[in-house]
Structure 1
Amino acid sequence: MSRSVSVLLPIVPTRAEHAAPFAAFVQWRGARALWQGQQLLNEQHQVFAQLSGMGLRVPFGICVSLMPSRHPVQAAIEARTLAAASGHPVTAGFGPGARAFQEGVLGEPYKSPLTACREYLDIVRGVLDGDDVDQRGTYFSYTGSIPRSPAPPVEVGLGVLRPGMARIAGQTADVAITWLTPPTYVRDVIVPALREGAEAAGRPVPRVVSVVPMAAAADGRDTLAALGAGSCDHFAAPHYQDMLTRAGVRVDGEDPTATTKSLLAAGGALIGDPAELAAGIAAYHAAGTDEVVLNNVGVATLEGPRAVLRDLEALFNGNGW
């Protein structure tokens, strides 16, 4: 598999025009794709479809749509519609979300998130493939199909933090999407579990996409503060705390800076000049990550999107991704 680098949209746009400079960067500077995570302010598929209508047609990735928010048939239709609008493949990532989110939407959390994910992805994949689906699941059910339509392919992804979910991804997904996972954890935990699940199901091992926090060195910039601003919410989430602890990162619930320092020591965040950033990206590729998605949310939060574009321009200049 080729090794590539992509860009996470570091802002939550209220209009597609706000995201346009980042789509243009991907279009012209050789990044593989533009990614966006689940937001409650806007609907990510619609923002990307609007960018496509503006002529900014690039591969898009979603990391990840939260399953309680939409039925898997609707999720498949939205992803295929975006692929048709953009003229490029789409990576549609899904995940169960935090237990509190599940309870807020569904009234109670999934008793088995692993079962819920397997059922969800089986329906999404089946209808995208044009199959007649007949599934009566514990959490997600569907009998039927959707009409075939010409469109670029949709990769079905699953958000993966721990080995149990990685095995499910190996059995059902085209892509495993990690967030805040240090490269050694990808190599030693995620990739073996993906391989185990894929071998059990007799299918190819999914490719790995890792979303990695980044704060380039710049005059007057506190890179630790920038990384913390972009990741503090994840540091506070129990499922991320569990994964980070498994990965050897010391999680300090009262001091996000201490957690950031430990994450940096594990290689799970990137700081420095372009050469140092490229070396950190290479460490992920060497660990088995196929696509690194650069997360500059912290820099955008503290300094605005133009600062992120300057950092990305300096990084991509001369690197052959």
Structure 2
Amino acid sequence: MANDRFGVRWGLAGGTMLATVEEAREAARFAEASGFDGLWISHAMAVDPIVALACVGAEAPSLKEFGTSVVPLYGRYPIGLAQLAMTAQTALGGRFTLGIGAASKEQAEDRMGIAWDRPFSFTRDFVDGLQPLLAGQAASVVGDQLTTRTQLDIKAPNTPILLAALGPRMLRFAGERVEGTTLGQCGPRTIANYVLPHLDAGAEAAGRERPRVMALVRICVTEDYSGAFELAKAISARYQAFPSYAKVLAQEGLADPADLHLIGSWQQVLDGLAAYAEAGASDLRIEVSAHTEAAREATRLALADYLSS
């Protein structure tokens, strides 16, 4: 099979429920050996992704990028997050990218008892305070909800930001201000017809080129379609519980949101991944979403064979 990489970066979604740093190291070793461009670790009720990534750089000296997807902003402040990110940047030698997102109403209110009040304004204030700090500059920002006045004594390369965005205003803001957007549960049609128009409008208003568009794609190489699809339905149901995701998923026009998972032969999966590149995604964040250990290994082997050939 020809190694046509579609002209996009390939990142491994290293997992959402990593219980130990050793599990993060295993993901880094696989990403390195298989020929991925980067490793991404999600924020969940597991190891902190920034700390874990800072610990695993030596396992993958050839990886170009280590990133979070994504660190929730509610419950944090720009100064503390900048300290973490810049410290990780020193450990990773300039290869760290900070993926952030406001969080969700459930996370803010149910888990932390924080009012889900004007998330766009909160995100804007956060980025206003965070960006100068990451660039090694002094921040002096008095926002509607957050104030950031300080400078950090950390020597690190500037850390790029990817912003998780679903609403039009947040997408335009990502186009205007940060290095790109990181997407979950957004298919090719949604990216081409909804995400990019808003992202491009923000970039054009700021006189910038189109920033990065990183799509999360879940895949499974297997002959047992029904078994893999049952897992896909369980994962999709969790996203459907959030109105923002449900609204975006509806734009893809699928019979079932679980159809976003690419299931079947490697060629079928590869054709599905190509559709994301054709839609305008600049980055693929690949998650192996397998219902059995055999399917997991088959998927990992197919990825490694393709990327390293």
Same fold (TM over 0.5): yes
Contact 2:72 2:101 in 1 (8 A): yes
Q: Tell me the residue number matched to 2:301.
A: 313
Residue correspondence of structure 1 range 132-211 to structure 2 within 5 A? 132-151=138-157, 153-211=158-216
**Which of 37, 40, 45 is 1:40 aligned to?**
45
Letter in 1 for 2:218: P
CA distance in 1, matches of 2:236, 2:225: 20
* Residues 220 and 238 of structure 1: CA distance in aligned 2, closer, same or farther (over 3 Å): closer
**Which of 11, 14, 31 is 2:19 aligned to?**
14
CA distance in 1, matches of 2:141, 2:154: 19
Render the CA deviation track for 1:207-259: whole Å, top value 9, x for unaligned: 10011122222458712112223333112211111111233345xxxxxxx43
> RMSD in angstroms over aligned alpha carbons?
2.3
CA distance in 2, matches of 1:35, 1:232: 23
Deviation at 1:283, TM superposition (A): 0.8
Q: Tell me the residue number matched to 1:97.
A: 103
Contact 2:87 2:154 in 1 (8 A): no
Render the CA deviation track for 1:36-88: whole Å, top value 9, x for unaligned: 111123211122222236x3444211111110132112212212222221224
Letter in 2 for 1:186: I
Q: Tell me the residue number matched to 2:57.
A: 52
Contact 1:34 1:61 in 2 (8 A): yes
Letter in 1 for 2:74: P
Q: TM-score, normalised by structure 2?
A: 0.89
Letter in 1 for 2:300: L
**Which of 262, 280, 286 is 1:288 aligned to?**
280
* Residues 76 and 214 of structure 1: CA distance in aligned 2, closer, same or farther (over 3 Å): same
Q: Tell me the residue number matched to 2:218.
A: 213
Deviation at 1:177, TM superposition (A): 0.6
Contact 1:65 1:94 in 2 (8 A): yes
CA distance in 1, matches of 2:89, 2:297: 25
CA distance in 1, matches of 2:297, 2:133: 38
CA distance in 2, matches of 1:318, 1:186: 25
Identity of paired residues, percent? 23
CA distance in 2, matches of 1:44, 1:137: 28
CA distance in 1, matches of 2:162, 2:40: 13
**Which of 271, 275, 293 is 2:267 aligned to?**
275
1:259 is the counterpart of 2:264: no
Letter in 1 for 2:114: G
Aligned with 1:154: secondary structure? coil
Letter in 1 for 2:102: P
CA distance in 2, matches of 1:116, 1:247: 29
CA distance in 2, matches of 1:198, 1:319: 32
Q: Tell me the residue number matched to 1:107.
A: 114
**Which of 28, 31, 35 is 1:26 aligned to?**
31
Letter in 1 for 2:302: A
Contact 2:66 2:97 in 1 (8 A): yes
Deviation at 1:317, TM superposition (A): 1.2
* Structure 1 gaps, min length 5: 251-257
Contact 1:277 1:315 in 2 (8 A): no
Letter in 2 for 1:100: E
Q: Tell me the residue number matched to 1:303.
A: 292
Letter in 1 for 2:234: A
Deviation at 1:290, TM superposition (A): 0.6
Deviation at 1:169, TM superposition (A): 0.5
Deviation at 1:319, TM superposition (A): 4.5
